[in-house]
Amino acid sequence: MPSTEATHIDSTLTESRKFPPPADFSARAWVKSLDEYNAICKRADADPEAFWAECARGLYWFKPFGKTLEWNFPHAKWFVGGTINAAYNCLDRHLDGPRRNKAALIWEGEPGDSRVLTYQMLADEVGRCANALKSLGVKDGDRVAIYMPLVPEAAIAMLACARIGAIHSVVFGGFSSEALADRINDAEAKVCITADGGWRRGQIVELKNNVDEALKKCPSIRKVLVLKRVGNKVEMRKGRDLWWDELVPAQSPRCEAAALDAEHPLYTLYTSGTTGKPKGVVHTTGGYLTHVLMTMKWVFDLKEDDIYWCTADIGWVTGHSYTVYGPLAAGATVLMYEGAPNFPENDRFWQIIAKYHVSIFYTAPTAIRTFIKWGDAWVKKHDLSSLRLLGSVGEPINPEAWMWYRKVIGGERCPIVDTWWQTETGGIMISPMPGAIATKPGSATLALPGIAADVVTREGKSVGANQGGLLIVRKPWPGMLRTIYRDPERYKNNYFVQIDGAYFTGDGARRDQDGYLWIMGRVDDVINVSGHRLGTMEIESALVSHAAVAEAACVGRPDEMKGQAVVAFVTLEGGRKGDGRLRDELRAHVVKEIGALARPDDVRFTEALPKTRSGKIMRRLLRQIASGDETLGDTTTLEDLSVLAKLRDDEQG
Ligand code: 7RM
């Protein structure tokens, strides 16, 4: 259970730069001014149910809903009695107008192959895949595991499940067979959809082999549908495994979309907690779609002619909400890229943006910091003038990286939307509306309309301006998770017992004098130095603002005098080597930026930081390394295990 030990978190970040939305952007935006944003919020606060009902009517309902919300704390039912289908809203709804022949998916494979699917073509493929699933015995409510590379068929498989009321559980293709087996077993999935392999940095990821390994201990799986992607040799078990190519294209493209209850589960997605086994976050249909559809307009200001690219893999919630369901429900043209950002060279992303004239680009701070490390020259080689809006998600973005993103990628012309949300929230909760809200580097700015975010003490009292506290949401919202799969107790204990009557996010935050929200990271990551609770993110941000530093992660180590001492793990720019002089310089730099309190007691130079596959730094592991603890616990979500060994070596060296 995430702890709320904090009464307050001391905040030290002082960032005063402010960027108003460019006038020409605002003039064309869905929401054009702060006044307009305030007016929408006022309406949402005055009558949240009427507000969300109006939003939900932007979707196609087979049967209209009656009651908007049944809130039986902490259980929500949205749009009661309505029937709806997610695939119908993402596809069929667009087929009787000009969007029918519009590109829905533009896909680029890592080797350089590419495909374009119009809405009609995508709808036909989804129909065929849905019929194929039916022929395998998949029924309404059955769980289907999807373990695929980032190819159009991954989205097709998700939408095919949605079409017939099957609940998909996408497992990121970078996960091991072990992690896959755990997730299949928890969901008791009946069918697994996979590929022979996937491409990653020119190498083959052996997906089918991993499935075979996993299925040795997954008794619930009856059939495996295998897409041919890379052409490697795989074993096909008779009676269980079927080639996509042999089954799907032969099906009829017509498959009626099931009219499902608004609360019918759309998917489960596993997210690792700090301890214990991964939680299967459950999202349902009507509320989730309402949330992701609205945010396409509010946050991404989506227009008919945009080319929209979210770089997240469909294995993460960002891929679910902002590569598949949100943009397709909104009728967007979505770009999908299969592979690594540095294949064949470090400029692949910029080359893709120029090639397809991408206008909206959404990525993660960890990627941005990597690009900074690779150097501006890679970017400068390409014409990025098609871009009009940039987004960030996944972690706090340090002001340094934000400024680089704005200048080098956005040409000082594109607003940046720093979007805060979680797997559990379903969609974006805190973010600027780019035509309405002035941005500040490092701040996710303000909560979206209808989202009752607050920063509070452990007792649940709102903190004053510029005080750190716990980030909570006071009222239910349509996209919220409904439960943890087969573990309602955990649902309650994880999110609804810490602060009376509210949803606890597990994050710390601060609200500044303008009401802007600054996310300070997981409260579990806070360091307590002599009774001052410091958000790790702010010390890290100070370190990264030094020219030599590429990335930094700070953790606390038990200290007899101070309670905790600050240990900083630092990677350097351009292969530079760290020495005692630089160490002193960095410590002094933090003192200058924040104050003596935050001075790292220890600065450790390292080649890489331990990260999850979605790019979040695993501070838990660093904390254990810093305090000399040898038992590291669950490391299945770690991207590169060798990083740990190296960190240990660095310690000895
Ligand atoms: C979308 C996603 C959720 C956690 C969340 C935060 C952190 C995400 C931001 C952020 C600061 C942001 N889902 N986080 N976005 N922190 N600013 N814009 O990442 O379930 O994988 O992670 O990620 O700690 O609680 S997630």
- Measured from the Cα of 431, ligand 1's closest atom is 18
Among 420, 430, 480, 618, the mutation site with the greatest number of ligand 1 atoms within 8 A of its Cβ is 420
Residue 393 Cα to ligand 1 middle (Å): 6
Among 295, 422, 448, 470, the mutation site with the greatest number of ligand 1 atoms within 8 A of its Cβ is 422
Residue 395 Cα to ligand 1 middle (Å): 5
- Measured from the Cα of 423, ligand 1's closest atom is 20
Among 395, 429, 619, the mutation site with the greatest number of ligand 1 atoms within 8 A of its Cβ is 395
In this prediction, residue 198 carries a pLDDT of: 97
Among 507, 517, 613, the mutation site with the greatest number of ligand 1 atoms within 8 A of its Cβ is 507
CA–CA dist 336, 105 (Å, integer): 7
650 Rama sector, left if φ>0, alpha if ψ -120 to 50, beta otherwise: alpha
Please tell me the residue having the least CA distance from ligand 1 atom 19: 394
Q: Are 616 and 592 in contact (CB under 8 A)?
A: no
430 Rama sector, left if φ>0, alpha if ψ -120 to 50, beta otherwise: beta
- Measured from the Cα of 430, ligand 1's closest atom is 18
Please tell me the residue having the least CA distance from ligand 1 atom 4: 422
Q: Which long-range contacts (CB under 8 A, 24 or more apart) does 472-476 make?
A: 472/499, 472/502, 472/503, 472/504, 472/505, 473/425, 473/429, 473/502, 473/503, 473/505, 474/501, 474/502, 474/503, 475/48, 476/69, 476/71, 476/76, 476/78, 476/503
Please tell me the residue having the least CA distance from ligand 1 atom 26: 422
Residue 274, pLDDT above cutoff 60: no
- For the Cβ of 317 lying below 6 angstroms from any atom of ligand 1, the answer is yes
- Measured from the Cα of 418, ligand 1's closest atom is 18
Domain map of the chain by residue range? 23-85+264-522, 88-258, 532-652
Residue 534 pLDDT level (bands cut at 50, 70, 90): confident
CA–CA dist 36, 250 (Å, integer): 51
CA–CA dist 222, 135 (Å, integer): 12
Lowest mean per-residue pLDDT among 49-58, 334-343, 607-616: 607-616
Residue 421 Cα to ligand 1 middle (Å): 5
301 Rama sector, left if φ>0, alpha if ψ -120 to 50, beta otherwise: left
Tokens of 315: 């294995």
Residue 12 pLDDT level (bands cut at 50, 70, 90): low
Stretch 597-610: mean pLDDT: 90
CA–CA dist 651, 630 (Å, integer): 13
Per-residue pLDDT tens over the stretch 543-591: 998 999 999 999 999 888 788 899 999 999 887 889 999 999 999 999 8
CA–CA dist 103, 109 (Å, integer): 17
Residue 275 pLDDT level (bands cut at 50, 70, 90): low
Please tell me the residue having the least CA distance from ligand 1 atom 1: 422
- Measured from the Cα of 505, ligand 1's closest atom is 25
- Measured from the Cα of 392, ligand 1's closest atom is 18
Please tell me the residue having the least CA distance from ligand 1 atom 18: 420
Q: Are 148 and 195 in contact (CB under 8 A)?
A: yes
Residue 366 Cα to ligand 1 middle (Å): 12
In this prediction, residue 129 carries a pLDDT of: 99
Per-residue pLDDT tens over the stretch 99-138: 999 999 999 999 999 999 999 999 999 999 999 999 999 9
- For the Cβ of 68 lying below 6 angstroms from any atom of ligand 1, the answer is no
What's the longest Cα–Cα distance across the chain?
72
Is residue 200 within a helix (H) or strand (E), and if so which, with residue range?
Answer: strand 198-200
- For the Cβ of 522 lying below 6 angstroms from any atom of ligand 1, the answer is yes
- For the Cβ of 147 lying below 6 angstroms from any atom of ligand 1, the answer is no
In this prediction, residue 632 carries a pLDDT of: 62
Per-residue pLDDT tens over the stretch 390-411: 999 998 899 999 999 999 999 9
- For the Cβ of 387 lying below 6 angstroms from any atom of ligand 1, the answer is no
Residue 272, pLDDT above cutoff 80: no
CATH of domain 88-258: 3.40.50.12780
Residue 420 Cα to ligand 1 middle (Å): 6
49-63 CB burial, b ≥16 within 10 A, e <16: eebbbebbeebebee
Given CA atoms 83, 86, 87, 91 in this order, what sign does their dihedral have?
positive
Q: Are 445 and 21 in contact (CB under 8 A)?
A: no
In this prediction, residue 571 carries a pLDDT of: 92
- For the Cβ of 320 lying below 6 angstroms from any atom of ligand 1, the answer is no
Please tell me the residue having the least CA distance from ligand 1 atom 12: 420
Kindly tell me the number of DSSP H helices and DSSP E strands found in the chain: 21, 30
In this prediction, residue 560 carries a pLDDT of: 82
Residue 8, pLDDT above cutoff 70: no
In degrees, to the nearest 5, what angle opens at C-alpha 421 toward C-alphas 417 and 426? 120
CA–CA dist 117, 28 (Å, integer): 28
CATH of domain 532-652: 3.30.300.30
Is CATH 3.40.50.720 the right assignment for the domain spanning 23-85+264-522? Answer: no
Residue 237 pLDDT level (bands cut at 50, 70, 90): very high
Residue 651 pLDDT level (bands cut at 50, 70, 90): very low
Please tell me the residue having the least CA distance from ligand 1 atom 13: 422
Task: Pick the more confident residue, 383 or 1.
Answer: 383
Residue 2, pLDDT above cutoff 60: no
Provide the 8-state DSSP code for 98: G
Please tell me the residue having the least CA distance from ligand 1 atom 22: 422
- For the Cβ of 186 lying below 6 angstroms from any atom of ligand 1, the answer is no
The residue ranges of DSSP E strands in 445-562, in sequence order, are 453-456, 468-473, 483-484, 503-511, 517-522, 527-529, 532-534, 549-559
Residue 281 Cα to ligand 1 middle (Å): 15
- Measured from the Cα of 522, ligand 1's closest atom is 24
Query: Do the two domains 23-85+264-522 and 532-652 of this chain adopt the same fold?
Result: no
In this prediction, residue 561 carries a pLDDT of: 79
How many other C-beta atoms lie within 10 A of the C-beta of residue 322? 28
Tokens of 499: 């602060």
Stretch 20-33: mean pLDDT: 98
Q: Are 222 and 230 in contact (CB under 8 A)?
A: no
CA–CA dist 223, 239 (Å, integer): 8
Among 519, 524, 619, the mutation site with the greatest number of ligand 1 atoms within 8 A of its Cβ is 519
- For the Cβ of 271 lying below 6 angstroms from any atom of ligand 1, the answer is yes
Residue 364 pLDDT level (bands cut at 50, 70, 90): very high
Please tell me the residue having the least CA distance from ligand 1 atom 8: 394
Q: Are 282 and 263 in contact (CB under 8 A)?
A: no
CA–CA dist 449, 432 (Å, integer): 11
Residue 174, pLDDT above cutoff 90: no
CA–CA dist 650, 599 (Å, integer): 21
How many other C-beta atoms lie within 10 A of the C-beta of residue 588? 12
Per-residue pLDDT tens over the stretch 620-631: 889 888 888 766
- For the Cβ of 471 lying below 6 angstroms from any atom of ligand 1, the answer is no
Tokens of 249: 């294209």
Residue 635 pLDDT level (bands cut at 50, 70, 90): low
Residue 442 Cα to ligand 1 middle (Å): 13
